[in-house]
Structure 1
Amino acid sequence: MGGGHGLYQTLVAARLSAPESITAVVTVADDGGSSGRLRRELGIIPPGDLRMALAALASDDEEGSLWAKTLQHRFGGNGALAGHAVGNLLIAGLADVLGDEQAALDKIAELTRSHGRVVPMCNQPLEIEAEVAGLDDDPRVIRSVRGQVAVATTPGTVRRVRLIPDRPEACGSAVSAINAADLVTLGPGSWFSSVIPHLLIPGIVEALNNTDALKVVVLNLSAEPGETQGFSSERHIHMLSQHAPSLRIDRILVDSDAIPTSSERSYLERAAAGLGADIVFEDLRTQDGNGHWLNKHDPSKLSAALMSLYRSARPGLTSD
């Protein structure tokens, strides 16, 4: 569950674990770039995050790789197509032809020989509205900021977010996937625009609390400029509890180098206890070709960590 680049990395990690099936449950509140233009012009759910998930799950063979590259390709120039991703247009066109956006996503999954299915968290386009402090001379003044792009780039401090419309209905396929899953992950990603929106849909939270799956939150490696600037790891967890007080999670996966001191780890563990979760520290960060650490999860490390958590929670499993 998630959106954008964070979900992309998690799906690549999931593929490395070779599960029987993968379902990507994707946010639908993007209002920027190509997705925002198609959303406004056609009234569809924004396709960008859905497209990225389809690309992440595409087959590694020559045909699948070609489709994945094509889905992600953006037109250049200055004309009407400038900035549009091919995959966004393909999703929009197939949805129009087939009369159903889920049918369009499933058809593209066939073309890419996908390793899994991509479903929206909700079948209608949503807006994010945030309560933001620090936009006035008086830091106590709270202003409303609306739109995913505006929230992600605000120079203020986000206190809380909500969805418009409020309490939308969850996509039935998303609920079914959560209920049937063995392992559910939430995050990493843009905390207020890709992660928390899932928790503002009552049907999603209910499914998470009812499923027998192992539920794992993958914490971001660091705060993000704009959206969570200055947030500690502990505060990231408190935000989950604040937006979904009834939510219960099993594990919170944290990069071992992100929280260096024992006191910080203790604060984090207390915050996790509010969700009923245990903190697990693992080496998750990737390196570039020169050995420099990047602010990006390594899919191989993430895959190994998730499978270790799953096996420890299901001790009857074999190494296969």
Structure 2
Amino acid sequence: MPGSLTCLGGGHGLFQTLRAGRHLDVDRITAVVTVADDGGSSGRIRQELGQIPPGDLRMALAALSRDDEEGRLWEQTLQHRFGGYGALAGHAVGNLLIAGLTDVLGSQVQALDTVAKLTRSHGRVLPMCEQPLEIEAEVAGLGDEPMAVRPVRGQVAVASTTGNVRRVRLFPEHPPGGADAVAAIRSADMVTLGPGSWFTSVIPHILVPDIARALIETEACRVVILNLTAEPGETAGFSTERHIHMLTQHAPDLRVDHIIIDSTVISSDVERSYLARAAATIGADVAFEPVRADDGDGGWVNRHDPVKLAAALRRVYTRHISGDPRR
């Protein structure tokens, strides 16, 4: 098994990947997290304190908390949101803890490392950039002119748009990647990208030149994990291969080794061949793996099962080091 695993993403998709990583026998897990959230508690902290939005970072810390009574208490506490109608309403405890430690220590990376020590985390959580970013999308299909392309700025606005997202960019453009995040990608045995909101949690990583370059140059086994379904708003109507085309559109030099997709997502041989052809453009083979969670009653839910995903990553890594993608 890989000795070190670095997972790129944000939100619930990254949460599930990190949980899968806990089931692998690895010495080090590192989460590299997007920093463009502008909604809810994170957006308020970002606006009022000028800090990196902490929400996705908090979720990653919760995912890596120890699987014992104390660890589960920390996970619950980090994720707990205050109710009511006062100034604290809607804030997550973990967001406030990260923000407070950042003020005290003068560094969000140090703050995250401190929370990781408190929670006896399985790994380390790092921002992809050490400054808050904004996402702007080119969106078609808004208003009375369906072919007109208009800019939509802000993660929440992009994620909830009713139009068709064509591409996204970051502001400021070409931001520097976090030094520790870049090092974690370069030194890993396996790096994962996705699943998650494609335009707001996945693609932003490859728009940071230092992160994209590290992904291209690392000797790690590089794995893209595809979503189980297209998302309303961001990727409504997208085929699986179009998700890959969007990666190459935003980072033409990107190369990965393997793409994992749940085996129930595509049933026809024709559609599977389309995906394989798209994957080949970035140097990857496709692994159709049973990674979808079930509801306990014979049905499926739209969430990756951490145990199943861990098994899939283990199989992909074994094939990778053997040099035979079909093994």
Q: Is structure 2 residue 40 aligned with structure 1 residue 33?
A: yes
Q: Is structure 2 residue 322 aligned with structure 1 residue 315?
A: yes
Deviation at 1:95, TM superposition (A): 0.5
Aligned to 2:193: 186
Task: Answer with 177-186 or 137-146: which moved more.
Answer: 137-146
Q: Is structure 2 residue 47 aligned with structure 1 residue 47?
A: no
Aligned to 1:122: 129
Q: Is structure 2 residue 142 aligned with structure 1 residue 143?
A: no
Of 81, 84, 87, the residue aligned with 1:80 is: 87
Q: Is structure 2 residue 197 aligned with structure 1 residue 197?
A: no
Structure 2 matches for 1:1-320, cutoff 5 A? 1-315=8-322
Deviation at 1:64, TM superposition (A): 1.5
Q: Give yes or no for contact 1:95–1:103 (8 Å, CA) kept in 2.
A: yes
CA RMSD, 1 decimal: 0.9
Question: How far apart in 1 are the matches of 2:123 and 2:32?
Answer: 11
Question: How far apart in 2 are the matches of 1:61 and 1:263?
Answer: 46
Question: How far apart in 1 are the matches of 2:33 and 2:267?
Answer: 32
Question: How far apart in 1 are the matches of 2:129 and 2:29?
Answer: 18
Cα displacement string for residues 210-253 of structure 1 (whole angstroms, at most 9, x for unaligned residues): 11100000000110011111111011110000000010000011
> Match of 1:166, as an amino acid?
E
Aligned to 2:4: none
Which stretches of structure 1, 4 residues or more, deviate above 4 A after TM superposition? Answer: none
Unaligned runs of 5+ in 1: none
Q: Give yes or no for contact 1:64–1:111 (8 Å, CA) kept in 2.
A: no
Cα displacement string for residues 36-70 of structure 1 (whole angstroms, at most 9, x for unaligned residues): 00000000000000000000001112222111110
Unaligned runs of 5+ in 2: 1-7
Cα displacement string for residues 286-305 of structure 1 (whole angstroms, at most 9, x for unaligned residues): 11132220111111110000
Question: How far apart in 1 are the matches of 2:216 and 2:67?
Answer: 35
Number of aligned pairs?
316
Deviation at 1:25, TM superposition (A): 0.3
Question: How far apart in 1 are the matches of 2:77 and 2:25?
Answer: 24
Question: How far apart in 2 are the matches of 1:45 and 1:12?
Answer: 23
**TM-score if structure 2 supplies the norm length?**
0.95
Question: How far apart in 2 are the matches of 1:224 and 1:214?
Answer: 27
Deviation at 1:74, TM superposition (A): 0.1
Question: How far apart in 2 are the matches of 1:221 and 1:23?
Answer: 24
Task: Answer with 142-151 or 307-316: which moved more.
Answer: 307-316
Task: Answer with 289-298 or 75-84: which moved more.
Answer: 289-298
